[in-house]
Structure 1
Amino acid sequence: MVFNIKDSQKRRVKTDFPREIEKKAHSWIPMSDGRKLAATIWLPADADENPVPAILEYIPYRKNDFTAIRDSVRHPYFAGHGYASIRVDIGGTGDSDGYLKDEYLKQEQDDALEVLSWIEQQAWSTGAVGMIGKSWGGFNSLQVAARQHPALKAIITLCSTDDRYADDVHYRGGNVLASDMLWWASTMFAYNARPQDPEVVGEAWKENWLERLEKTPPFVEEWLRHQRRDDYWKHGSVCENIEDITIPVFAVSGWQDGYTDAVFRLLQDLPGESKGLVGPWAHEYPEVATPEPAIGFLQECLRWWDHWLKGEDTGIMKEPKLTSWIQNSEKPQVTYEERPGKWVADNSWPSKHVTNCAYWLRNGNLAKAPVEKNEKTLIPSVQEHGFYSGVFCPFGQPGDLPADQRLENGKAVTFTSEPLEDTIELLGHPKFYADLSSDQEDAFIAVRLMDKAPTGESTLISWGMLNLTHRHSHESPEKLVKGQRYKVEVKLDALGQQIPKGHRIEIAVAPTYWPSAWPSPKPVNLTLYSGEATRLELPVRSPQQQDETAGDFDAPETAPVMEREIIRKEKRTRQVIHEPITGEWTLSDYSDEGERRLPESGLQYGSVNKNVWSIREGDPLSARNRCEWELTIGRGQWQTKVQTYSDMWSDETTFYLVNKLVAFEGDKEIFSKTWETEIDRDHV
Structure 2
Amino acid sequence: MHTEVIEQIWIEMPDGCRLGARLWLPAGARALPVPAVLEYIPYRKRDGTRGRDEPMHGYFAQQGYAAIRVDMRGTGESEGHMADEYLQQEQDDACAVIAWIAAQDWCDGNVGMMGKSWGGFNGLQVAACRPPALKAVITAYSTDDRFRDDIHFMGGCLLNDNLWWGTIMMGYQARPLDPAVVGEGWRAAWEDRLDRIPFFPALWAAHQSYDEYWKHGSVQEDYSAIECPVLVIGGWSDSYTNPVPRLLENLTVPCRGIIGPWGHIFPQDGVPGPAIGFLQEATRWWDHWLKGKDTGVMAEPKLRAFINDPVEPVTSRPVQPGRWVGEPAWPSPEITARDFHLGASGELSEAPVAGGQLTLCSPQSLGAAAGEWMGVGCPGDMPADQRLDDGGALVFETPALAAEIEILGTPELTLRLASDKPVAQIAVRLSDVNPSGRVTRVSYQVLNLTHRTSHETPEPLVPGQMEEVSITLSICGHRFAPGHRIRIALSTAYWPILWPAPEAATLTLDTAASRLSLPVRKGGDGGVAFEAPLHGVDAPQTMIRPAVLRRSVTTDLMTGAVTYVTDGEGGLFGEGVLRFDEIGTVVSHSLRRELTIHPDDPASASYTLHQEYDLGREGWQTRSVIDSAMTCDRENFYLKAEMRVTLNGAEVRHRTWAETLPRRLI
Give the TM bin, normalised by the shorter chain. Answer: over 0.9
Q: 2:170 aligned with 1:201, yes or no? A: no
Paired with 1:433 and 1:296, the residues of 2 have a C-alpha distance of 40
Letter in 2 for 1:263: V
Q: 2:550 aligned with 1:570, yes or no? A: no
Alignment-derived partner of residue 501 in structure 2: 520
Instruction: Give the superposed CA RMSD.
Output: 0.9
Q: 2:617 aligned with 1:635, yes or no? A: yes
Paired with 2:483 and 2:353, the residues of 1 have a C-alpha distance of 24
Alignment-derived partner of residue 515 in structure 2: 535
Residues 108-123 of structure 1: matches in 2 within 5 Å? 108-123=90-105
Choose the corresponding residue for 1:246, options 215, 220, 227. Answer: 227
Q: Deviations over 1:523-552 (max 9, x none)?
A: 110000022x301111110113xx2511x2
Identical columns (%): 46
Contact 2:347 2:353 (C-alpha < 8 Å) held by counterparts: no
Q: 2:374 aligned with 1:393, yes or no? A: yes
Alignment-derived partner of residue 9 in structure 1: none
Contact 1:383 1:617 (C-alpha < 8 Å) held by counterparts: yes
Q: 2:533 aligned with 1:556, yes or no? A: yes
Alignment-derived partner of residue 479 in structure 1: 460
Contact 2:603 2:633 (C-alpha < 8 Å) held by counterparts: yes
Q: Secondary structure at the match of 2:639?
A: strand
Q: Deviations over 1:88-122 (max 9, x none)?
A: 00111000002211111110000000000100110
Alignment-derived partner of residue 595 in structure 2: 613
Alignment-derived partner of residue 16 in structure 1: none
Letter in 1 for 2:111: V
Contact 1:448 1:507 (C-alpha < 8 Å) held by counterparts: yes
Contact 1:384 1:411 (C-alpha < 8 Å) held by counterparts: no
Paired with 2:271 and 2:452, the residues of 1 have a C-alpha distance of 36
Q: Deviations over 1:134-160 (max 9, x none)?
A: 110000000000000010000000011
Q: Secondary structure at the match of 2:8?
A: strand
Q: Secondary structure at the match of 2:183?
A: helix
Q: Shift in Å at residue 520 of structure 1?
A: 1.0
Q: Shift in Å at residue 597 of structure 1?
A: 1.0
Paired with 1:394 and 1:224, the residues of 2 have a C-alpha distance of 22
Paired with 1:554 and 1:79, the residues of 2 have a C-alpha distance of 19
Contact 1:371 1:530 (C-alpha < 8 Å) held by counterparts: no
Q: Shift in Å at residue 221 of structure 1?
A: 1.4
Q: Shift in Å at residue 670 of structure 1?
A: 1.5
Letter in 1 for 2:652: I
Q: Shift in Å at residue 369 of structure 1?
A: 2.9
Q: 2:246 aligned with 1:265, yes or no? A: yes
Q: Deviations over 1:41-89 (max 9, x none)?
A: 0001311111000000000110001100000110011011111000000
Letter in 2 for 1:435: R
Paired with 1:40 and 1:101, the residues of 2 have a C-alpha distance of 23
Q: Deviations over 1:419-463 (max 9, x none)?
A: 111011110111111000001010011111110011100101100
Q: Deviations over 1:389-444 (max 9, x none)?
A: 00011111000011101111101111111111101111011111100000101001
Q: Secondary structure at the match of 1:558?
A: coil
Paired with 1:390 and 1:609, the residues of 2 have a C-alpha distance of 17
Choose the corresponding residue for 2:144, options 162, 173, 182. Answer: 162
Paired with 2:362 and 2:533, the residues of 1 have a C-alpha distance of 47
Contact 1:53 1:309 (C-alpha < 8 Å) held by counterparts: yes
Paired with 2:421 and 2:352, the residues of 1 have a C-alpha distance of 28
Q: Secondary structure at the match of 2:351?
A: coil
Contact 2:342 2:396 (C-alpha < 8 Å) held by counterparts: yes
Letter in 1 for 2:398: S
Contact 2:318 2:377 (C-alpha < 8 Å) held by counterparts: no
Paired with 2:639 and 2:361, the residues of 1 have a C-alpha distance of 29
Alignment-derived partner of residue 151 in structure 1: 133
Paired with 1:518 and 1:548, the residues of 2 have a C-alpha distance of 42
Q: Deviations over 1:655-680 (max 9, x none)?
A: 00101111000111111010110010
Q: Secondary structure at the match of 2:14?
A: coil
Alignment-derived partner of residue 130 in structure 1: 112
Q: Secondary structure at the match of 2:641?
A: strand
Q: 2:420 aligned with 1:439, yes or no? A: yes
Q: Secondary structure at the match of 1:549?
A: coil
Contact 2:451 2:459 (C-alpha < 8 Å) held by counterparts: yes
Paired with 1:364 and 1:299, the residues of 2 have a C-alpha distance of 48
Contact 1:465 1:491 (C-alpha < 8 Å) held by counterparts: no
Structure 2: state its 5+ residue gaps: none
Q: Deviations over 1:626-646 (max 9, x none)?
A: 122111111210110111111
Letter in 2 for 1:569: P
Q: 2:346 aligned with 1:369, yes or no? A: no
For normalisation by structure 2, the TM-score amounts to 0.98
Q: Secondary structure at the match of 1:557?
A: coil
Residues 172-211 of structure 1: matches in 2 within 5 Å? 172-178=154-160, 180-211=161-192
Choose the corresponding residue for 1:580, options 552, 557, 568. Answer: 557
Letter in 2 for 1:401: M
Q: Secondary structure at the match of 1:370?
A: coil
Alignment-derived partner of residue 85 in structure 1: 67
Choose the corresponding residue for 1:451, options 417, 421, 432. Answer: 432
Q: 2:34 aligned with 1:34, yes or no? A: no
